Structure 1
Amino acid sequence: MSGTRANGTRANDLRARAEEWMAQDPDPETRAELQAILDDREALSARFGSRLEFGTAGLRGELGAGPNRMNRVTVMRAAAGLAARLPAGGRVIIGFDARHGSRRFAGDTAAVLSGAGLRPEVFADPVPTPVLAHFTRTFDDVVAGVMVTASHNPPRDNGYKVYWSDGAQIVPPQDAEISAAIDAVGRVDELPLGSGWPVHAGADLYLDAVSSLRLGGDRDISIVYTPMHGVGRDVLLAAFERAGFPAPVVVPEQADPDPDFPTVAFPNPEEPGALDLALALAEDRNADLVIANDPDADRCAVAVPSPSGWRTLTGDEVGGLLAEHVLRHTTGEDRLAVTTIVSSSLLRSIAAAHRVRFAESLTGFKWIMKAGGPSDRLVFGYEEALGYSVGDDRGVLVNDKDGIGAALAVAALAADAKRDGRTLLDLLDEQARKYGLHATSQLSVRVDDLSLITAAMSRLRAAPPAELAGRTVESIDDLAQPGDGLPPTNGLRFRLAGDARVVIRPSGTEPKLKCYLEVVLPVEGDIVKARARAAAELEALRAALSTVLS
């Protein structure tokens, strides 16, 4: 993943490094930012004491001057490093979202790649991430794709995501090779720059593909939709129209792209309060469904009416529903369904019931897309963080998260259920009775000092708990050790008595220790009582883990 790496810079070198940066920086705003803080050692240290590290998630960080910020120099260096790892003359597709600086960063990337002898092409306007990912995998002469986006990060952030020719995000060792090439880049004002690259005017290629997904026939469904001030609206509305769905009602306050995200504290549909405007509008319109994308439209959130008010479904719940829907509308024993080690184990049971292949991957869609073997046909992949890639008998449409394709599939699923006099909540209850109630939850422990995360993981490895919330720890998998065909990763998986599981890992993007909890209960009789019992048992596990990690 991307992160921050120490430069080993001594305090008395900071001003010299800032002046050197200013001398090559093409951006008058970041030059002025540095000029104003040349005598502020603390501010310079925040920008020059470490740098954004290029990893499998590319780059992501706060906008500003210096190597520990997202800016034109950082982007140009990244583009030059990427160019060094690509074949001469290769075609590279570049997309960008509506965040501050995204269009400029896309142009700088194209200029550097063109100057390095590659053939960049840039979308004329902001596009959703799945549009870029789909385009990248479609043409044989495309060697890479770049998406300038920070997804659902705060307004002051931006990022830089790299896709390989298969339309999937890079994995090791590609990240390390690009990072090493970035380290070898000299001054950006000495880089040869090209000009005059082609531009793409729209998303028709993606729209033709996504609107032809063969995933159900009914279209009678009323939807309220929010793009969360992002770039998903126009493409999603066009996709729904081409697929024959009624136009979703768009939340007006969040309809237009706005890099300041004025109506939400945090532009992530998982965050409390982020869907409030959409839920209020859905209640007013008596809608069947609420669908939300995050700002770059690679994630999809879903909410439905219930007897006690609107209920937002978890990523695992939507993942289970979509999996069953996709598998009902596809054929062949070579089909593959994939999820991650921190997502619900329900998908394994669904795949077995449909007699298709199943695989687990590490966290992140870059790993989901690498799961399985050459004879497998991936038709569905998901992760609990609202990420889904849906397909039909042709396989998945996008080799990454696709919030628009998922929205279409959810709409088709809900329309089919409505035709039969049922709701998504009814379908969840049916799955619980058939496969057992797979209840999941999370616990995140935020720290100010990253060394505390390292210490906590070391302590858990050296002295793991013998029980949690009255459940015996029956086995422990150290995910840092090779096993189950997975690459090593810093994580621990505890299997508990009574069909429960806990996975603990450091966050790849935030100073957090993240814990993923699952309890599986057989459902005999009242489903409401079973859900209440599962919620209580998850809360007991959360409390026990909080004590262990304190």
Structure 2
Amino acid sequence: MDRKQWEDNIEGSFISAEAYGALSDEEKDDAYSDMLSFGTAGIRGKLGLGPNRLNRYNVEKVALGLAHALEGKAKPLVVIGYDTRHFSREFAETMTSVLVHNDVAVRLSEQYISTPELSFHVREHGAEFGVMITASHNPPEYNGIKVYGSDGAQLIDDPAAELSRKINAIEDIFNIDSTAFDEALESGRAKYIDAEMEERYRKKITSFIPEIPESDLEVVFSSLHGTSVPIVPEMLDTLGFGNYTLVQDQCRPDGDFPTVKSPNPESVEAFEEARKLGTETEADVLIATDPDADRIGLQVLHEGNYVHLNGNQLGILLLDHRLKMHEGSTPVIIKSIVTSDLGRKIAEDNGGKMIEVLTGFKYIGEQIRLLEDDESQQFILGYEESYGYLLEPFVRDKDAIQIVPYIISMASELKNDGKTLVDALESIYEKYGRRMEVLFSHTFEGSSGKKKIDEIMTQFRNDSPDEMEGRKVVMTEDFESQERTYSDGTSEAIDLPKANVIKIHFEDGWIALRPSGTEPKIKLYVSLDSDDIEAESKSINEMIFED
């Protein structure tokens, strides 16, 4: 399919000729250099014209692929949600039109909703698939499509590969038949999700949250222009907690995310407006969620300054509290391979079981499903260092909306004791030991960037170091070859699916390299017992990326 054919069909693509014409030659070349494909979180890409961009034609292609995957099913149903990004609603309606034309019933959110709500609705409706139109915390020029299975978890490798094959087999993407959206609604084959179903999700959360103790705790909350408002403040009101202030400018849905460089609660910079408001209101805790409300970030007022907790730190705070609250069957915790090992020590010292999975919350969802029929074990927490957490499995993806009232309850209890969440974290370190983590993320745009990332990974696979920064390497794990190699030359198989990840272990820590499955990025994870983690991790980063 050549560029001219795409350019001849620009009128129906949702992409304006003016915007396309303003692109550089390099940007246009990149738009035709590849096809969008499934990564760790579905399909994600920049908005634009071309096979390597997200537009109406590629959305219709995915919708038709879904319809083909449902052939032979009796009365198939797909649930569709969308966030506050540019074209999210239009893409959701486009998906609906194609699916209905192919005899697939659709339940669609009438307004924007969060990703965890979509996961919940898939399960409650008994749907075969769920679709969430979102690019999570990416910059405003991105959008994406997440696909969920009937259990409400994102598709794991084999089903995703099968769906990908059906999507890629579609060649004539400019002539995909569809039913007009209004007609799809009028026919009853597409219906909006009713308000009672949306209220059911809120009740599920409020039913398990510990009572929020009365205290003078003050909270500032930001949705970073996304989907967690109005649901979060309404839920806090229901729970009787009124000591919160919204960052008003950031709690208005806006796909441009005008008040932040990137709507990512991992970023300290994303909290700038919240810190200003927090200083004015003397807030104890600042909370932000990303645009589709699956990730959550936190800053805590401690000794006069706001401390930004990283994803591992919030994870072990939740883990420690969940274990203390748990009674009965063996508690099960699930984390990713690039999440701090401190969680394992905490879990096992408290009679819990830790399961490790590849990066991607879909693997956590898979393990929850495998636990469902085992009454001797109970899932209590799934988490990743990338600020994604799940407490209760009525949702099968990251759920920041669950975490907001839970962490407020924890902070309120501590406030009444004259302590902060940072104090609680220090107590955990004193009991179980301290492990420090630093994350570096490097972006390499375009086809040349992809080549650069591949070269870095190949170099480490072919010439793994014996030591780094004076630390002896004791083990190397290559999750692509599924092999674990020890310093004495012995090796064994890794019992996990293939993944483009390399993890190098020292006696007192590890580093890992992982290219993103949805963005032109490669991440370096550093987890060490170190007196100067910033300097040591910076040196390791420079050794890998600046040589």
TM-score of the aligned structures, taking structure 2 as reference length: 0.89
SS at structure 2 position matched to 1:145: strand
Please say if 1:131 is aligned against 2:101.
no
What letter corresponds to residue 401 of structure 2 in structure 1? I
Report the count of equivalent residues: 515
Match of 2:353? Answer: 357
SS at structure 1 position matched to 2:435: strand
Please say if 1:507 is aligned against 2:516.
yes
Give 1:484 shift.
4.1
Question: In structure 1, what is the Cα distance between the partners aligned to 2:401 and 2:40?
Answer: 23
What letter corresponds to residue 60 of structure 2 in structure 1? M
Match of 1:211? Answer: 206
SS at structure 2 position matched to 1:51: coil
Q: 1:276 to 1:16 in 2, by over 3 A?
A: closer
Question: In structure 1, what is the Cα distance between the partners aligned to 2:301 and 2:26?
Answer: 50
Give 1:452 shift.
1.9
Give 1:436 shift.
0.2
Match of 2:442? Answer: 445
Question: In structure 2, what is the Cα distance between the partners aligned to 1:35 and 1:484?
Answer: 46
Please say if 1:488 is aligned against 2:498.
yes
SS at structure 2 position matched to 1:514: strand
Higher mean displacement: 241-250 or 318-327: 241-250
Q: Deviations over 1:196-230 (max 9, x none)?
A: 12112543121111111243552433210011111
Contact 2:212 2:239 in 1 (8 A): no
**Paired residue for 1:155, among 140, 149, 156?**
140
Q: Deviations over 1:56-115 (max 9, x none)?
A: 522211112222211111111111101111234222111111111111111111111111
Question: In structure 2, what is the Cα distance between the partners aligned to 1:293 and 1:37?
Answer: 33
Match of 2:184? Answer: 195
Match of 1:431? Answer: 428
What letter corresponds to residue 455 of structure 1 in structure 2? E
Please say if 1:171 is aligned against 2:168.
no
SS at structure 1 position matched to 2:81: strand
Match of 1:3? Answer: none
**Paired residue for 1:58, among 28, 31, 42?**
42
Match of 1:48? Answer: 32
Question: In structure 2, what is the Cα distance between the partners aligned to 1:348 and 1:59?
Answer: 32
Give 1:271 shift.
2.4
Question: In structure 1, what is the Cα distance between the partners aligned to 2:389 and 2:5?
Answer: 47
Question: In structure 2, what is the Cα distance between the partners aligned to 1:56 and 1:512?
Answer: 13
Match of 1:18? Answer: 7
Match of 2:411? Answer: 414
What letter corresponds to residue 77 of structure 1 in structure 2? K
Contact 2:264 2:290 in 1 (8 A): yes
Match of 1:526? Answer: none
Q: 1:334 to 1:230 in 2, by over 3 A?
A: same
Give 1:464 shift.
1.6
Question: In structure 1, what is the Cα distance between the partners aligned to 2:6 and 2:274?
Answer: 47
Question: In structure 1, what is the Cα distance between the partners aligned to 2:155 and 2:423?
Answer: 39
SS at structure 1 position matched to 2:366: coil
Please say if 1:314 is aligned against 2:310.
yes
What letter corresponds to residue 389 of structure 2 in structure 1? Y
Q: Deviations over 1:150-204 (max 9, x none)?
A: 1111112111111111010111111221111112333454424261121125431
What letter corresponds to residue 537 of structure 2 in structure 1? L
SS at structure 2 position matched to 1:212: helix
Q: 1:219 to 1:468 in 2, by over 3 A?
A: farther
Contact 1:55 1:176 in 2 (8 A): no
- 1:194-343 matches, within 5 Å, as 195-196=184-185, 197-202=190-195, 203-220=198-215, 221-343=217-339
Match of 2:455? Answer: 455
Higher mean displacement: 505-514 or 317-326: 505-514
**Paired residue for 2:60, among 72, 76, 89?**
76
Please say if 1:388 is aligned against 2:389.
yes
Contact 1:342 1:503 in 2 (8 A): yes
Contact 1:390 1:397 in 2 (8 A): no
Higher mean displacement: 29-38 or 381-390: 29-38
SS at structure 1 position matched to 2:436: strand
Give 1:36 shift.
5.4
Question: In structure 2, what is the Cα distance between the partners aligned to 1:495 and 1:136?
Answer: 40
Contact 1:34 1:65 in 2 (8 A): no
Q: 1:209 to 1:462 in 2, by over 3 A?
A: same
Give 1:539 shift.
2.4
Contact 1:241 1:247 in 2 (8 A): no
Contact 2:41 2:517 in 1 (8 A): no
Contact 1:223 1:288 in 2 (8 A): yes
Where structure 1 has 5 or more consecutive residues not aligned to the other structure, the ranges are 1-8, 521-533
Match of 1:531? Answer: none
Contact 1:360 1:371 in 2 (8 A): no
- 1:108-147 matches, within 5 Å, as 108-139=94-125, 141-147=126-132
What letter corresponds to residue 230 of structure 2 in structure 1? D
What letter corresponds to residue 132 of structure 1 in structure 2? L
- 1:533-544 matches, within 5 Å, as 534=530, 536-544=532-540
Question: In structure 2, what is the Cα distance between the partners aligned to 1:101 and 1:444?
Answer: 28
Q: Deviations over 1:416-440 (max 9, x none)?
A: 2122222111111110011101211
Question: In structure 1, what is the Cα distance between the partners aligned to 2:268 and 2:158?
Answer: 37
**Paired residue for 2:69, among 85, 89, 99?**
85
Contact 1:319 1:384 in 2 (8 A): yes
Give 1:17 shift.
4.5
Contact 1:389 1:397 in 2 (8 A): no
Cα RMSD after superposing both structures = 2.2
What letter corresponds to residue 517 of structure 2 in structure 1? G
Question: In structure 2, what is the Cα distance between the partners aligned to 1:284 and 1:274?
Answer: 18
Match of 2:528? Answer: 519
Contact 1:339 1:359 in 2 (8 A): yes
Q: Percent identity?
A: 33
SS at structure 2 position matched to 1:458: helix
Contact 2:40 2:517 in 1 (8 A): no
Question: In structure 2, what is the Cα distance between the partners aligned to 1:446 and 1:165?
Answer: 34
Q: Deviations over 1:96-143 (max 9, x none)?
A: 11111111111111111111111101111011111111111223x311
Contact 2:225 2:251 in 1 (8 A): yes
Give 1:43 shift.
6.0
Contact 1:15 1:44 in 2 (8 A): no
Give 1:475 shift.
1.4
Question: In structure 2, what is the Cα distance between the partners aligned to 1:89 and 1:535?
Answer: 60
What letter corresponds to residue 397 of structure 1 in structure 2? F
Match of 1:476? Answer: 476
Question: In structure 2, what is the Cα distance between the partners aligned to 1:434 and 1:215?
Answer: 25
Where structure 2 has 5 or more consecutive residues not aligned to the other structure, the ranges are 483-492
SS at structure 2 position matched to 1:195: helix
Question: In structure 2, what is the Cα distance between the partners aligned to 1:340 and 1:35?
Answer: 39
Please say if 1:401 is aligned against 2:402.
no
Give 1:537 shift.
3.7
